[in-house]
């Protein structure tokens, strides 16, 4: 459930109240004088179903209200258990997803720092054949966010958003490869790794091989990524999603820096397939979610008389 709070000047207050009551999915509209405003104004508060959020924001913009005149927040519903949600996927609010996508489409310092840490942990996991370290790297990695932002940009036909997010993702995964290569090369130069070290000797050498499971896992991961992104569960689901990105990136880096370069192309192929299929399945999931509510609202044909 979403909550709208808006301050509207007295001249437009009546029309604004009528607008709220006209939109299906906007309920429990309350108005009162805005005592904090120097000019006569009215404060409106209303509960908004997620499926109605896009129409509401468009309608508010049509009245000429600025972004400073209203705020739309998410409220947790405790009771009753039956939420009376609009048709479609539960809790889906496109405008909220767009906001998250914009926030995660740029390579911020926190993103680069976390993915560098994930690269170090994953590289050590490949070198020592430690599945526990690989899982730890997946838990740290934030690569889920730009992947989902790319899907949102494609589904919304926002070319700039999709390109920015894709660049952020590419920068992050490239950084993983470079950090893993530098770490592997440094360990080899220091004599910590045997001179004849070959990444293929690792028990994680399957990271450089593709089969039918590679395709199926990537497609399933893309769906899970988008659903978690919408429900703010990305921190938990991100561990499962990163199984398609971070291990292969680290394996590629270690192969370049410490030995086994002939296996690097295999890891690069796995990484490319995984990322591409995740974006495809994630985008399709979003398009289906946008299509279902509009189909449910479409007028049903009347039987012939």
Which range marks the domain in which residue 64 is found? 2-74
> Does residue 125 sit within a domain?
yes
Answer whether residue 299 is part of any domain. Answer: no
Same domain, 37 and 151: no
Residue 85 lies in a domain: no
Question: pTM for the whole thing?
Answer: 0.76
Whether residues 16 and 146 fall in one domain: no
Residue 305 lies in a domain: no
Joined tokens for residue 200: 């293929």
CB count in 10 Å sphere of residue 170? 14
Contacts 24+ apart (CB under 8 A), 272-275: 273/210, 273/214, 273/215, 273/218, 274/214, 274/217, 274/218, 274/221, 274/244, 274/245, 274/248, 275/147, 275/169, 275/173, 275/218, 275/244, 275/245
Same domain, 264 and 177: yes
According to the model, what pLDDT value does residue 169 have? 94
pLDDT at 85: 46
The pLDDT score that the predictor gives to residue 282 is 93
Interval 47-60: pLDDT, tens: 998 878 888 988 88
Tell me, yes or no, whether 35 and 174 share the same domain.
no
84-120 pLDDT, tens per residue? Answer: 444 444 556 777 788 888 888 888 889 999 999 999 9
CATH of the domain at 20: 3.30.70.120
Q: Which of 45, 74, 103 is the last residue of a domain?
A: 74
Task: Tell whether 63 and 149 lie within a shared domain.
Answer: no
Instruction: Answer yes or no: do 105 and 66 share one domain.
Output: no
**20 and 51 in a common domain:** yes
pLDDT in tens, 69-78: 888 888 777 6
Q: How confident is the model at residue 295 (pLDDT cuts 50, 70, 90)?
A: low
pLDDT for 239 equals 59
Same domain, 99 and 59: no
Q: Which two tokens stand for residue 74?
A: 């998410």
Structurally, the chain folds into a number of domains equal to 2
Can you say whether the dihedral through the CA atoms of 45, 49, 53, 55 is positive or negative?
A: negative
21, part of any domain: yes
The confidence band for 233, taking pLDDT boundaries of 50, 70 and 90, is low
Same domain membership, residue 280 and residue 188: yes
Check whether residue 223 and residue 109 sit in a common domain. Answer: yes
Verify that 208 and 269 share a domain, yes or no. yes
Query: Is 129 part of a structural domain of the chain?
Result: yes
Look at residue 90 and tell me if it is in a domain: no
Task: Kindly state the percentage of the chain with pLDDT values over 70.
Answer: 87
Residue/partner pairs of 228-235 with CB below 8 Å, 24 or more apart? 228/144, 229/97, 229/100, 229/144, 229/145, 229/148, 230/91, 230/92, 230/96, 230/97, 231/91, 234/144, 234/145, 234/148
**How far apart (Å, rounded) are the C-alpha atoms in residues 77 and 103?**
25
Same domain as 272, residue 143: yes
Would you say residue 82 lies in a domain? no
């Amino acid at each position: 459930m979403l909550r709208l709070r808006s301050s509207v000047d007295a001249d437009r207050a009546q029309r604004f109240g009528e607008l709220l009551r006209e939109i299906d999915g906007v309920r429990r509209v309350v108005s009162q004088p805005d005592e904090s405003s120097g000019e006569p104004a009215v404060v409106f508060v209303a509960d908004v179903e997620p499926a109605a959020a896009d129409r509401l924001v468009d309608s508010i913009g049509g009245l000429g209200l600025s972004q400073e005149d209203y705020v739309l927040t998410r409220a947790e519903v405790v009771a009753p258990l039956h939420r009376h949600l609009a048709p479609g996927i539960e809790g889906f609010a496109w405008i909220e997803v767009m906001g998250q996508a914009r926030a995660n489409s740029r390579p911020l310092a926190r993103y680069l720092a976390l993915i560098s840490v994930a690269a170090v942990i994953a590289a050590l996991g490949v070198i020592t054949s430690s599945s526990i370290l690989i899982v730890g790297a997946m838990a740290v990695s934030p690569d889920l966010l730009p992947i989902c932002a790319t899907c949102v940009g494609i589904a919304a036909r926002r070319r700039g958003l999709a390109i920015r997010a894709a660049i952020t993702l590419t920068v992050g995964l490239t950084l993983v490869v470079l950090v893993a290569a530098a770490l592997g090369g440094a360990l080899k130069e220091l004599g910590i790794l045997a001179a004849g070290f070959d990444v293929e000797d690792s028990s994680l050498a399957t990271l450089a091989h593709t089969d039918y499971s590679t395709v199926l896992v990537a497609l399933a991961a893309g769906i899970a990524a988008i659903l978690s992104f919408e429900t703010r569960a990305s921190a938990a689901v991100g561990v499962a999603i990163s199984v398609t990105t971070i291990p292969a990136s680290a394996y590629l880096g270690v192969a370049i820096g410490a030995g086994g370069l002939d296996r690097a192309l295999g890891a690069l192929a796995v990484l490319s397939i995984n990322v591409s299929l995740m974006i495809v399945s994630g985008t399709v999931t979003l398009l289906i979610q946008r299509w279902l509510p509009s189909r449910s609202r479409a007028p049903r044909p009347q039987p012939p008389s």
